[in-house]
A and B are shown apart, each in its own frame.
Chain A
Amino acid sequence: MLDGLLTGLSVAFSLTNLLYVLVGVLLGMIIGVLPGLGPTATIALLLPITYALDSTSAIILLAGIYYGSMYGGTITSVLLRLPGEAASVVTTFDGYQLAQQGHAGPALGIAAIGSFAGGILSVLGLVLLAPLMATVAVGFAPPEYAALSLLGILLVVYLGQGSVLKNLCMAAVGLFLASVGQDPITGTQRFTFGEVSLFDGLDFVAVAMGLFGVGEILYNLENSERGQQVKAKIKNVWPSRRDLRDSAGAIGRGSLLGFVIGVLPGGGGVISSLASYAVEKRVAKDPGRFGKGAIQGVAGPESANNASSSSSFIPLLTLGIPPNVVLALIYGALLIQGVTPGPDLITDKPELFWGVVASMVIGNVMLLALNLPLVGVFVRLLKVRTGILVAFAMLVTLVGVFSVSNDVFDIWVVLAFGVLGWLMRKANFEPGPLVLAFVLGPLLEKCFRQSMLMSGGSPDIFVSRPVSAGILVVVALVVVLSVAGALRRRRSARDDEREPTPSR
C-alpha cells in the first residue's frame, strides 16, 4: 500500500496533474456557485474534453469537479438560500438563517472546514477499504456481477429522488436503450434499422450530455430569471473557537455517515446530507434550534456530502459498479478511455487508482485554501446572466459531442435526448435511473447470459453461490421494504381522508 501511495503522490504531484486538479476544483466550485448547471450536467458536458487527456488526468479532472461542486454549492445556499447543486439543499435550512443573523462568514468557514475534514477522512477510508474490497471482488464471477448490477440499479430506483414507479420506468427505458447495437455475445445487430452510426449502440456521451446537459439548458431557458443580489455581508470567514467546538462532533459524525452512505449503491451527496441533518437534530440537546441557525446543521451535512463524494469512488474503482449517477458518468469516461474499472484496476493500473486518491487529498487542500479567501470573488459570479451561460453551454455541448466520434449523428442524438430530458423534468421523471441503467445494462445483460450459459439454463446459479445469494437477499429486502412502506403510506393517507373534518 505504501508503494501505491508513493506512486500516487508522484503521479498527482506532476505539474500536468496538479493543473488538472486545480482546474477541476475551480470549475467545480464555479458550477457549484452558479445555480442551474449542477455537477452532473457539467461533468456530462465536459466528457468529450477528457478524450484528449490520458485516463488518470481525465478522472482527476472529473473527480475535482465533483467534490469541488460540493464546496461551491454551499456558498449560494448560505447567502441566498439558493442551492447551487442538490446536495446543498439541506445547508439552506440553517446556513441561510445564520447569514440573516449576520453569521454568514462563520457558516461558510465551518462548511469549508467540515467539507475538508469529510473529504480527507473519506480518502483515508478509501485507502484502507478499497484494496480490501478489490481482493474480495477478485473471486467474483458473472452471477455476482449480475446481482451487484441489479442491486445498483434497484437502489438508485428506490433511494433516488422522485417516485419509485417513475424511476423504475426510467430504469427499464435505460435497460432497453442499452440493448441497441451489437449483441455482446452473438454479434447480431439489434434495433439499428440499418443506421451505421447505431451499430456500436447509442453513444453514452451523447445520451448523458443530452439528458443532463441539454435537458438542463432547455429547462433553464424556460425558467430563466434575473440573478439575485447578495444581501448578507460576509465578514470574518474564520469561525470562532466556540463555533469550532460546537461543530467538531457534527463534522465527525457527518464524515463517518457520508463515507458509509457514499459507498452504498444509490447513496450520494443528497442522501448523506439529509441523513446527517436528521442525525444532528436527533443528538442535539436543543433540537428546536435547527432551522433557526444551528451551526451543526451546516457542519454535519457539509462534511457528509463531501465525504460521500470521495467514498463513492470505492465501488467504482474496486467493483466496476458506479453507485450513483455522477460516478456513472465517470465510469463512462473510463470506458471511453479504454479502461474497464474492476477489482484488477488497483494492480493493473496503480498509477490511475493511487493517482486519483492522492489528487483528492491535494484537491481538498486546494479547496480549503481557495474557498475561504475567495468567497467574495465566487459570489460575484452570480452576476453572470443565465441567458449568456446557457448560450455558450449549448454551443460547447453541440461541438463537444461531435468531437467524440466526429459524427454529426451524435448531435442529433444529443438534441433528441435533450428534449427528452427537458420533458422528463417537466413531468418529474428522473434521468438518473435511466442513465445508470443504460451504463450498467450491458454488464448486467452480459453477466446474466454468461451465468445462464455457465449453469446450463438453471437460474439456481444466482442463489447457490453465497455472495450472489446474499446480494439478492438485499435486493429482495429493498423491494419488500419499499413496497411495505408505500402500502403503509397509502393506508395512512386513506385513514386521514376518512377522518371527518371539523365543521367551522
Chain B
Amino acid sequence: MPLSPDDVSDPPVRRRLAYRIGPLVLLCLGIVAAVLACTLALGEARRPGPGLWPLLASGLLVAVAALLLFREDPADYERWTRGTARVGVAVLSVVAFIPLFQFTGLLPAGFLLLAFWLRFFARERLFKALILAASGAVVLQLVFVEVLGVPVPAGPRFGLF
C-alpha cells in the first residue's frame, strides 16, 4: 500500500530513518565490495588486474548510494502489512523445504510444501489442498525426473517410480 500524502508530509523521525535503510545497506555493500576489490590485484591502465573492474563497479555503487541517502523519496516505499508476515512464513517454509528436498527427494518435500502453501496461503480446504498437493508433486516428479531426466535427490519413492 503506498503511503498517503499525510503520511509523507511529516514523517516521524523513526520512519524517516527507516527510508534511509535501503540506501544505507547499499552504501555498506559498496564499501565492503570496494575493500574486497582492493585485496585483488588492481593492475595498471596498460594491463588492468582482476580487482580493477569490481572496484569501478563498487565505486559507482558507493557514489550513487551516498546520493540516494539524501535524495530518497518516502513515497517510494510500501508499508509493511499483515501480508508481510505471510511472506516471512513462506520464506521459512522454503528454507525448510531445501534440506527436506536434499534428503527425501522431490515427492515428499514437494507434497509438503504444496500442501502447506495451498492450505495456509490459498486457504483451500484441507482435503482439496492434500489432493492438489499430491497431484502436483506427482506431476512434477513425472515431468522433471521421468521426462527431463533431472537427477533430483532420490529419497524414498514409495514404490511409485
Residues of A within 8 A of B (CB): 49, 51-52, 163, 165-166, 168-169, 171-173, 175-176, 179, 183, 185-186, 188, 190-191, 218, 221-224, 385-388, 390-392, 394-396, 398-400, 402-403, 406, 408, 411-412, 415, 418-419, 422, 425-429, 441, 445, 448-449, 452-453, 456-459
Complex-state Cα separation, A456 to B48, whole angstroms: 10
Chain A residues within an 8 Å CB radius of B98: 398, 408, 411-412, 415
Interface string of B44-88 (1 = CB under 8 A from A): 111111111110111011001101100101001110010110110
Other than the given A224-B121, A391-B118, A419-B91, 5 more pairs (CB < 8 A) read A179-B57, A396-B140, A399-B140, A427-B78, A457-B46
B53 touches A448 (CB 8 A): yes
Chain B residues within an 8 Å CB radius of A387: 117-118, 121-124
Chain A residues within an 8 Å CB radius of B46: 452-453, 456-457
A/B interface sample: 19 pairs, CB < 8 A: A166-B68, A175-B56, A175-B57, A176-B58, A179-B57, A190-B40, A190-B50, A222-B81, A385-B122, A387-B118, A388-B124, A403-B144, A408-B98, A411-B98, A426-B77, A429-B22, A441-B57, A452-B45, A457-B45
Complex-state Cα separation, A412 to B86, whole angstroms: 19
Complex-state Cα separation, A406 to B65, whole angstroms: 36
Task: Quote the shortest CB–CB distance from A343 to chain B (angstroms).
Answer: 25
Chain B residues within an 8 Å CB radius of A171: 60
Chain A residues within an 8 Å CB radius of B118: 387-388, 391
Complex-state Cα separation, A453 to B52, whole angstroms: 14
- Is B95 close to A, CB under 8 A? yes
A394 touches B117 (CB 8 A): yes
B114 touches A449 (CB 8 A): no
B91 touches A399 (CB 8 A): no
Chain A residues within an 8 Å CB radius of B114: 391-392, 395
Smallest CB gap from A214: residue in B:
B94
Q: Give the interface size bracket for B toward A.
A: 35 or more
A449 touches B53 (CB 8 A): yes
Complex-state Cα separation, A426 to B121, whole angstroms: 20
A427 touches B57 (CB 8 A): no
Closest 4 CB pairs of A and B: A387-B122, A457-B46, A457-B45, A222-B83
Smallest CB gap from B137: residue in A:
A395
Task: Quote the shortest CB–CB distance from A58 to chain B (angstroms).
Answer: 13
Interface string of B23-56 (1 = CB under 8 A from A): 1001001100100100011001111111111101
A172 touches B64 (CB 8 A): yes
Chain B residues within an 8 Å CB radius of A408: 98, 101-102
Smallest CB gap from B147: residue in A:
A52
Q: Check A395/B122 contact, CB under 8 A, given A52-B148, A221-B86, A224-B83.
A: no
Main secondary structure of the interface of A (DSSP, over half): helix
Chain B residues within an 8 Å CB radius of A168: 60, 64
Chain A residues within an 8 Å CB radius of B47: 452-453, 457
B110 touches A449 (CB 8 A): no
Q: Check A395/B54 contact, CB under 8 A, given A387-B121, A387-B123, A428-B76.
A: no
A399 touches B152 (CB 8 A): yes
Chain A residues within an 8 Å CB radius of B121: 221, 224, 387, 390-391
Complex-state Cα separation, A168 to B78, whole angstroms: 21
Complex-state Cα separation, A411 to B118, whole angstroms: 21
Interface string of B1-35 (1 = CB under 8 A from A): 00000000000000000000011001001100100
A169 touches B26 (CB 8 A): yes
Interface string of B105-121 (1 = CB under 8 A from A): 01000100110011001
B61 touches A172 (CB 8 A): yes
Chain B residues within an 8 Å CB radius of A188: 40-41, 50
Chain A residues within an 8 Å CB radius of B26: 169, 173
Q: Check A169/B101 contact, CB under 8 A, given A190-B54, A222-B84.
A: no
Smallest CB gap from A174: residue in B:
B57
Complex-state Cα separation, A185 to B53, whole angstroms: 12
Complex-state Cα separation, A195 to B87, whole angstroms: 29
Complex-state Cα separation, A222 to B1, whole angstroms: 11
Smallest CB gap from B144: residue in A:
A399
A176 touches B54 (CB 8 A): yes
Q: Check A391/B76 contact, CB under 8 A, given A222-B87, A224-B83, A399-B106.
A: no
A392 touches B68 (CB 8 A): no
Q: Check A411/B101 contact, CB under 8 A, given A224-B83, A453-B47.
A: yes
Task: Quote the shortest CB–CB distance from A406 to chain B (angstroms).
Answer: 5
- Is B132 close to A, CB under 8 A? yes
Q: Check A218/B152 contact, CB under 8 A, given A172-B57, A179-B57, A429-B22.
A: no
Chain B 146-161 interface residues, beta-carbon cutoff 8 Å to A: 148, 150-152
B86 touches A403 (CB 8 A): no
Chain A residues within an 8 Å CB radius of B124: 387-388
Smallest CB gap from A444: residue in B:
B53
Chain B residues within an 8 Å CB radius of A456: 46
Smallest CB gap from B84: residue in A:
A222
Chain B residues within an 8 Å CB radius of A459: 45
B61 touches A173 (CB 8 A): yes
A223 touches B65 (CB 8 A): no
Q: Check A223/B64 contact, CB under 8 A, given A188-B40, A402-B150.
A: no
Smallest CB gap from B85: residue in A:
A222
A394 touches B64 (CB 8 A): no
Complex-state Cα separation, A52 to B147, whole angstroms: 10
Chain A residues within an 8 Å CB radius of B36: 191
B151 touches A406 (CB 8 A): yes
Complex-state Cα separation, A415 to B93, whole angstroms: 11
Complex-state Cα separation, A299 to B114, whole angstroms: 42
Task: Quote the shortest CB–CB distance from B43 to chain A (angstroms).
Answer: 9
Complex-state Cα separation, A406 to B81, whole angstroms: 36
Smallest CB gap from A188: residue in B:
B50
Task: Quote the shortest CB–CB distance from A357 to chain B (angstroms).
Answer: 28
